[in-house]
Structure 1
C-alpha cells in the first residue's frame, strides 16, 4: 500500500497508528508540505492566489519564492493591501487532511509525537493508538497583536486547576497549559500588526523561530514546533506605535512589501469583486462604468492629496464602501419616489462622503467638518481629472478657434440658474437638464450611442466638470447642487445670503479646505 496514492476517502478510513504505518505514511514538515503543493500548482498552471489583483508581478512572486525557500515571512504594507487575505489563502496550499493523535493538545503527528501526553498514549496503546484527521481549515490560527497580549496567551503557563485535578506537582510538565503558538503545531500561525506586540513579548518568539525551545514558568522544554509563521506589519507602526525588535526581524526570513493598486483598472477589479451589492439593489439601480471609475479616481486623488496622511494610506476598503454607498444613494432616491428602477447620477457621488470620511486620516486634524470638506474636494478633483477623458480641455478651448463651452456658459451668463436635488424624480431630473441651452448638443458632439439614462448622466457630469474648471459656478446645498453663472456666484449664493456662501476656487487654490 502506498500512502501517497491513496484517495482522500481511503486515507480517512485509516483509524489507528498501525494502519497508518502499514499505509506507508511518512511525516512531512509544514514548510515542506507548502513547498511541495506550491510546486504542484505551478506545474499545473493553477492560480495560487485567486482574486488578489495587482500583485501578479510583484507581491505574489515574492510570496511564492518565500514558500519555495521554506521561509517565515513578514508582509509589510499600509492598511487595506490584502496582507491578511494572502496569509489566509496559504491554507489552500496545505494537504486537505493530516493524521493526528486523538486526545492531544498539540496536533501531534502519530509518527513524531511532540508532547509528553502523546508519547504516553502511544506507549500505552502501541499500534492500536487511535488517530484522527485534521482538516486544513483547522490548521490556521490568527492573532491580532495588541498591547495586552501576554506570554501566557502565546506560549503558555502553568495551570493550577490542571495540577489539582490530575494531582500533579508543579514540577511535572503535564501541568502546563499551552498557548496559541504550541497549539498551532503543524499549522500556519499569523500575527497581525506585529509592532503592536510589546517588546518583551516579541523576545519570547526568538527561540521558537530559530531553535524550537520554549520556556514556561521555569520549565525548559525542547519542543521542535513545526509552524509556518506569517507576520503582518504597517510601516507607520515602526515610528508611531512601536517597532519590531531587531533580533526578531533578523529571524524572519523574508520581508515582502505590499502596495496599493498601481492602475485604475486594477482598483476597479478589486472593488467589483469585494463590494457587496444586494440582489434587490442590482435589480433596481443601474450603474455605468464612468461612475465606477470616478469612485476609483477618488482613491487615487486621496493617495496623492497633501491633506491626507500618506503614512496611514487609503485602504481599498474606501472604494468598496464608497461604491456600496453610491448604489444605496440611488436606491434610496428610487424608494422615496416610488420608482421601480433608477440610474445612478453624478450627484449620488456626494452621498458617499460618509464612506470616505472614515477611511482617510488627515495630516492636520481640524474641526469636525474638516474630513467632510476634504472628501467633497476629493470627489471634485476626481471629476476634474476624468472630465478630460471625455470632453475638451477648457483651458485649451478658450484659446482655440472654437469654444465648445460658449453656448452653455452664455446661458448661465444670461441669469439662468438650476438646482439639481439629490432626491428628484427621474422625470424632474431629465426636465431640468434639458432646459440648459447647448448642453444636450454638447454631449452629443463628444459621445455616441448613449441610452437616455447614460446621456443624462453625461450631461450632469459635463456640468460638474465645467464647474471644476471655473466655467460656471457651483454651490453645495443640503438637498443637492446649485449651478449658476460664475461671476454672480462669487458674490452671493442662490438665496442671496453672502455670508453662507462658500465659494469653491480653482484646483490650485485649496485654502478653502480649512
Structure 2
C-alpha cells in the first residue's frame, strides 16, 4: 500500500491503503468498478483466463524490483486495463462484423499506454519501461497458463507443430480464421472446452491464442512478429 500524500500535506493525516489479498478478490473488485459499456448488437464476453491474466500483471508489477513500490500499483490499473481490452475486442467485432466481442492475448498490446500511466518504473534508458512491462505480461500469462491448462492434453498439438503446423494470430483477425488453422488438431477441442463457457468461435479463438502464447512462455513453441500486430507460432 501507500500513503496518500495530499492528505498528509494538507490535513496532517495519513491513510495507508492496501492491495487485495488474492487475484479472485481483485477480479471481483474490477467487475464492480469497471465501466460496463455496450455497443448495439455486440455482446461482450470476458474469459476467466483473460481476466486473471490482466490481474496477474498487476500482481507481478507489485512484486517487481523495477517498479517503484513506494508509488505502488493500485487496482485502478487492473480496472483500466480490463476496460481497454474490452474496448479493443469491441473494435475488432465492429470491423469484422461479428456479434460477440471477446478479448484475446493479442489485445494485450493495447494496455501498454494504460499501464504506463499507472506504473512508476525505476529503469533507465529508452524503451526499458516497455521491455519491463512486456516481461511482466509474459510472466502473468505463464502463471495463469500453468494453473489452468493440463500439459498432457497438449502433446498432439506439439506433435502437429513438429510436423510443420504454423498458426498466425492478430488482434484484427476474425475468429473463424483461428478455428480453421487448428481444426486438424482434434485433441485441442478438449483443452478449449476446459477454458470457455460458450461454444462461440470468438471465445474459442481467445482460448487458442492463450494456449499458443502459454506454450511460447514455457518455451515449447517459437513466436515471430510479422508487423502490424501479426504473430506466427511455429517450432
Higher relative contact order (CA 8 A, sep 6+): 2
For 1:263 and 1:296, locate their aligned partners in 2 and report how far apart those are by CA, in whole Å: 10
Structure 2 match to 1:412:
161
Unaligned 5+ residue runs, structure 1? Answer: 1-76, 84-144, 146-191, 198-228, 233-255, 395-402, 486-514
For 1:342 and 1:442, the matched residues in 2 are separated by 22
Among candidates 95, 98, 110, match of residue 336 of structure 1: 95
* RMSD of aligned alpha carbons: 2.7
Provide the secondary structure at the position in 1 that maps to 2:223.
Answer: strand
- Give 1:374's aligned residue: 132
Change (3 A) 1:457 1:339: closer
Q: How many residues align?
A: 233
After TM superposition, the structure 1 = structure 2 runs for residues 462-481 of structure 1, keeping only pairs within 5 Å, are 462-476=211-225, 477-481=227-231
User: Could you say which residue in structure 2 is the equivalent of 1:78?
Assistant: 2
Match of 2:86 among 319, 323, 327: 327
Task: State the Cα distance separating 1:230 from its structure 2 match.
Answer: 7.0
**13, 21, 27: which one aligns with 1:231:** 13
Structure 2 Cα separation of the partners of residues 261 and 281 of structure 1:
34
Does residue 1:288 correspond to 2:47, yes or no?
yes
**Counterpart contact for 1:314–1:359, Cα < 8 Å:** yes
- Structure 1 CA distance for aligned equivalents of residues 153 and 143 of structure 2: 18
Cα deviation code 1:110-139 (max 9, x no counterpart): xxxxxxxxxxxxxxxxxxxxxxxxxxxxxx
Distance 2:51 2:197 in 1: 19
CA contact (8 A) 2:175 2:205 kept: no
Residue 232 of structure 2 aligns to a residue whose secondary structure is: strand
Q: Which whole-Å CA distance do the structure 2 matches of 1:426 and 1:271 have between them?
A: 26
Residue 174 of structure 2: aligned partner:
425
Per the alignment, residue 123 of structure 2 pairs with 364
1: CA distance between counterparts of 2:40 and 2:134? 25
Relative to total residues, which structure has the larger strand share, 1 or 2? 1
2:41 touches 2:99 (CA, 8 Å); kept in 1? no
Change in Cα spacing, 1:194 to 1:304, as seen in structure 2 (3 Å) is: same
In structure 2, the partner of 1:119 is none
Question: With structure 1 as the length reference, what TM-score do the two structures score?
Answer: 0.41
TM-score (norm 2): 0.85
Tell me whether 1:434 sits opposite 2:183 in the alignment. Answer: yes
1:460 paired with 2:218, answer no
* Higher Rg of the two aligned structures: 1
